[in-house]
Structure 1
């Protein structure tokens, strides 16, 4: 079933902007370099590579602090202006970072990038949903393709230009974002106020048409909104844990080699990309995106549980498990629930995006941080005992992830049922009109 996409210029500009946004997420690992080799930010700042990584992690603070008002401003002043702010801040980060003289300036620029990400998210996700309201879920999850592409391309670019000219890559990325900003300024964006008014009017009509005694046909933030935030808190926590701890889980639970454990993240990423592509194809055949949510959440729970199943503790078994977790947990389900939450509250899409990803950011901190508390230190422990302690510790980490997955599944089912109930009522009213 073909679905028309309006404002294609804005849609493509935003998608291609996320290519460079994704590069910023891995800038620390790709541009840190080595003071001994005389290249990268570590040499420019006169610090070690670990200090570069910690400095650029400040982008998370910039993102978290700016999220609350980025969404409000997107709803108040329009998507285009907020997107332009996000693109401008991202360009500043990339152009000035390789020219920064010390770690302090680098931290400031990282905070600027984090703020730019918040503004870009707050303007982008609503624009994509408003460009094709009947296929909003697919519009959102396609962003992941561009993020994955950007993270794939940046290491290749750094390698291609060589360590001597490493500054070329971030400066070129900044210039690229300037071009994206010019395009965002000239292309047309959806009339978000008109679209929100139409969607809100449909919900109000369904609520008035509902017979007494039926369940409410309008979402309430204290119920549906909070449930969506709990979902993203749990799910994004699992995704961050997988990104950071899958190698250690593979090495300590399944006894893989260090290189084999690191390779699990590739299968995790592959699963995520395949899920986005297949979900988009299936959605284009007329399957509503909300229908994927409980199914993916259920299989996501099973996939995480497989990490602690002895029969999967082989190289092949762990690769399959990593692929499945990437597919069902990181393959677009978070964007699909964001779409559902925006459907629930059409008047405040910008704020919804901000609160949603803020809750996700908290989850992305809590679960990985818990690893340090759960996994015991083995600094002065003999080899065999250290191996046993690490295996036990990471097994408990997986059980915590399973608990998060159970909550995510329960909330996913609730979101699906409420979305179906509300929008069936709306479709019924439209059919009578």
Structure 2
């Protein structure tokens, strides 16, 4: 009888996890839609501005995320995963409606900031909730977020192509996302979630208080820093590698790089989701960046179109295929009582990477060219490999300290 009750409960929780992951399917569209050229041109005409200005709007997503992450995690620990998720859903609805209806760039900028707010609350609501549902398979729980994001990003260009072919306004996609989020929100209010195993003090503490009350070792700080370095690796490739392919490797169709990058990411998600059940998450934090580092060096030295395509697949697999999610799962295991807060911290590191490294890459690219940007990526990825080596050498000691 007890086994039947337990099985029924597990099925309900897995159904809850699926509904929570649907938020990340929509999130994949939210973080990608402003990068689609035809959508950018349409929005630029709507706002009476230029394509470059739309890129600035996209940057506001990161700003909203940075502003909110310091307190979204503690709020998740205090109010619960459901409340945090609903805040994220509400903010994302405003984001999509804001893009569709905004008459000018100022309103759109405000809507984009709310999109970043949504991202941070979903990160600190959905991810810890799913980690708690799938425990002890926390690596699988975080990898599935990447899976849902990657599927929607793969489908997005196809959907936009369909809208273009049939002359349907792109705003219809934004309205559709808002409606879908509303439905998901209603479902989130009804689903069963596990009780968070936070201590009372941790649940009520602010981010600063949690940091003061938590003993951070050099290894745990290295894990947080990996959130910075692994993000830099795939962001630099996504934003700068196509220019390298065109100007240095002589590629004619650099769009192939994006296709193979996406394929690599999806392959990594499928394979890694299986492997994390047999191998500790922390091992991937060393092996995958090391693969990325070797591939980046080969691309810089060989400089041919074929190598750029191979490099796109490998970087998609090893850099974008879940390293950030696995780092998040690993650090959650080390700080089980403040999962929301620690998720906030590592996502802050990731967001800082988006801003600082891409800004630096833009300046280096203007003065020294795409090869120097590729070298920058190599240096940062090498730092990530060294950080992961430190964590791996000391991880058994860290695990024992958590158990004690």
TM range (shorter): 0.7 to 0.9
Matched, 1:405 2:381: yes
What pairs up with 1:174-189 in 2 under 5 angstroms? 174-189=178-193
Give the equivalent residue in structure 1 for 2:232: 237
59-68 or 150-159: which moved more? 150-159
Give the equivalent residue in structure 2 for 1:417: 393
Contact 1:33 1:49 in 2 (8 A): no
Distance 1:230 1:306 in 2: 25
How far residue 325 of structure 1 moved from its aligned partner, in angstroms, is: 1.4
What pairs up with 1:300-339 in 2 under 5 angstroms? 300-310=292-302, 313-339=303-329
How far residue 235 of structure 1 moved from its aligned partner, in angstroms, is: 1.4
How far residue 376 of structure 1 moved from its aligned partner, in angstroms, is: 4.1
Give the equivalent residue in structure 2 for 1:352: 342
Contact 1:58 1:110 in 2 (8 A): yes
Matched, 1:262 2:252: no
Give the equivalent residue in structure 1 for 2:157: 155
Matched, 1:361 2:344: no
Distance 2:39 2:334 in 1: 46
Matched, 1:290 2:282: yes
Deviations 1:184-214 (A, max 9, x none): 11001121126x79xxxxxxxxxxxxxxxxx
Distance 1:169 1:343 in 2: 38
1:250 to 240, 245, 252: 245
How far residue 158 of structure 1 moved from its aligned partner, in angstroms, is: 2.9
1:25 to 24, 31, 56: 31
Distance 2:44 2:232 in 1: 30
Contact 1:237 1:366 in 2 (8 A): no
How far residue 265 of structure 1 moved from its aligned partner, in angstroms, is: 2.2
Instruction: Go from structure 1 to structure 2 and tell me whether the alpha carbon gap of 1:6 and 1:193 turns closer, same or farther (over 3 Å shift).
Output: farther
SS in 1 for 2:136: helix
- TM-score w.r.t. structure 1 length? 0.82
How far residue 412 of structure 1 moved from its aligned partner, in angstroms, is: 0.9
Give the equivalent residue in structure 2 for 1:201: none
Give the equivalent residue in structure 2 for 1:67: 69
2:59 to 57, 60, 68: 57
Instruction: Go from structure 1 to structure 2 and tell me whether the alpha carbon gap of 1:234 and 1:34 turns closer, same or farther (over 3 Å shift).
Output: closer
Distance 1:29 1:331 in 2: 20
SS in 2 for 1:330: coil
Deviations 1:312-349 (A, max 9, x none): x2222221122111211111111111111111111111
Distance 1:131 1:426 in 2: 20
Contact 2:286 2:385 in 1 (8 A): yes
What pairs up with 1:373-384 in 2 under 5 angstroms? 373-377=363-367
Give the equivalent residue in structure 2 for 1:130: 132
Rg larger for: 1
Instruction: Please list every run of 5 or more consecutive structure 2 residues that lacks an aligned counterpart in the other structure.
Output: 1-6, 201-213
How far residue 34 of structure 1 moved from its aligned partner, in angstroms, is: 7.3
Contact 2:28 2:153 in 1 (8 A): yes
Instruction: Go from structure 1 to structure 2 and tell me whether the alpha carbon gap of 1:426 and 1:21 turns closer, same or farther (over 3 Å shift).
Output: closer
Contact 1:86 1:117 in 2 (8 A): yes
SS in 1 for 2:276: helix
- TM-score w.r.t. structure 2 length? 0.88
Instruction: Please list every run of 5 or more consecutive structure 1 residues that lacks an aligned counterpart in the other structure.
Output: 198-218, 378-389
